[in-house]
Each structure stands twice: as structure tokens, then as C-alpha cells.
Amino acid sequence: MKYDLIVFDWDGTLLDSAGAIVNAIQASCRDLGLAVPSDAQARHVIGLGLEDAMRHAVPDLPPERTPEMVERYRHHYLSGDHDLRLFEGVHALLNDLKSAGHILTVATGKSRLGLDRAFKHSGLGPLFLSSRCADECHSKPHPQMLDELMAEFGMKPESTLMIGDTSHDLLMANNAGVAGLGVTYGAHPHDHLLDCNPVACLHSVEELGLWLKNNA
């Protein structure tokens, strides 16, 4: 295998949640009487740690109101996260990769509590041998999540692949010296991902599976 360790982002890569995140950010701003970011502005921060995401999505947010914004975001997102679905084909893709002997892990902007909740709802938890979250490490695109996962399994950068739907994922891969693979069906547009020099950009889970079968 070329890539023994495969690291997945969560939101927008495995879970079809980008729209729900955008709506939660915008609803939180309305609750607090703040300027509501556009869909594109809200989508851009997906993948960052929650507090970083709120500060970037709402540049005029006073620092002392960040906890209030985070609370409103969690309220809106968690009220509907049980209805979110994995992208079609994700279960089969992950099972095939695990059966082929790859080490599967997650690096996400979610909190540990949020990822554990997502693992439980999706049933995917047992497929991943480890994970890193934004409240345990520096937020993307800092390389800490990937550095720690590689160290945990004794993997070199050339044996590691990061898969994600945002520039934050791909820039984290660049910063860690590992290959980054972009998927265009999540939060960030194709051109934005290409700017980060991924090894490829795939447009569906089916394409992702075929690429991994032929190249990983």
C-alpha cells in the first residue's frame, strides 16, 4: 500500500452537514443581532475549531461575545444533527479500506464530545482506530492533528494521506508534509481546493473509492 494511514475529515467529507453548519451559523447571528454572513462566508469556516470558525465567520463579533455565539451555534446545530446523513457510499468505502488493511483515522474541527456523538449516530466509530479534535489540538491548518496521528502509529509523512473537503484540510496536509486529497462535494469549491495543490480532487464518494483503489 502507498498510504498505510488514511486520515479523514468529518463534516462535508463523510457527513453531509455543510448546509446545516451554514444554517446554524446564520441563525446564531440573527439570535444575537449580528450581521449575518453569506452562505459562502459561512461555508469557508467549516473545518476550523468552533471558536476560530465563529471569529472568522463574524469578524465584527466582540471577543467577549464569542462564548455566547458558540452556545447559540451549538443550540441550532444540535437541534437537527440527528437528521444528518452520511454521503451515499461512505459505509462501503470505509469497510473496503479497512478490509484492505489501511489504518483509518479522523482529524476534525469538531469537539471530542461532538465527534463521539457523531460516531454513535453514524455507527462508524468502530472503523476508526484513532481521532483528533479541535479541542485537543491546534485548529486546522496547524499540522498537530496529523503529526500526532503519524506518531501514534509510527507512520512517515509519505505513508499518510489526508482526505478533506476544505482548504483547511489540505493546508494542514501541506504543513505536515503529507499528501492531501480533496473532495468537491462538501464545503469548499473545486478551484479553492486546487489552490492547495492536492494530489487529486474527486467529485463523489464513488470517484473517491475508485481513486483510492487505484492509488492508495
pLDDT at 1: 75
For 25, phi then psi, to 5°, come to -65, -45
pLDDT at 48: 87
Say if residues 167 and 195 touch (Cβ distance below 8 Å). yes
Residue 11 annotated in active site = yes
Place of cell 451559523: 25
User: Sign (positive/negative) of CA torsion 21, 77, 118, 146?
Assistant: positive
At 103-160, the pLDDT tens digits run 999 999 999 999 999 999 999 999 999 999 999 999 999 999 999 999 999 999 999 9
Cis peptide leading into 67, omega within 30 of 0?
no
Model confidence at 65, pLDDT cuts 50, 70, 90, reads: very high
pLDDT at 203: 96
Q: What angle do CA 116, 119, 123 make, to 5 degrees?
A: 150
Strands lying side by side in the sheet with 179-183: 130-132, 103-107, 5-8, 160-164, 179-183, 200-202
The radius of gyration computed from the CA coordinates of the chain, to the nearest angstrom, equals 16
Query: In whole numbers, what is the pLDDT of the chain averaged over residues?
Result: 95
Q: What is the mean pLDDT of residues 184-195?
A: 92
Model confidence at 31, pLDDT cuts 50, 70, 90, reads: very high
Q: What is the mean pLDDT of residues 74-86?
A: 89
Model confidence at 72, pLDDT cuts 50, 70, 90, reads: very high
| Cα–Cα dist 165/46, whole Å | 9
pLDDT at 9: 98
Residues with Cβ < 8 Å from 185, sequence gap 6 or more?
Answer: 12, 87, 165, 203, 204, 205
Cis peptide leading into 143, omega within 30 of 0?
no
| Cα–Cα dist 46/50, whole Å | 9
Model confidence at 81, pLDDT cuts 50, 70, 90, reads: confident
For 61, phi then psi, to 5°, come to -65, 120
Residue 83 annotated in active site = no
Say if residues 94 and 110 touch (Cβ distance below 8 Å). no
The yes-or-no verdict on residue 50 having pLDDT over 90 is no
Q: Select which of 4, 11, 16, 169 is catalytic.
A: 11
Q: Select which of 4, 9, 81, 116 is catalytic.
A: 9
pLDDT at 127: 98
Identify the structural domains of the chain with CATH numbers, from first to last: 5-16+84-215 (3.40.50.1000), 18-82 (1.10.150)
Quote the DSSP letter at residue 203. S
pTM score of the predicted model? 0.93
pLDDT at 82: 80
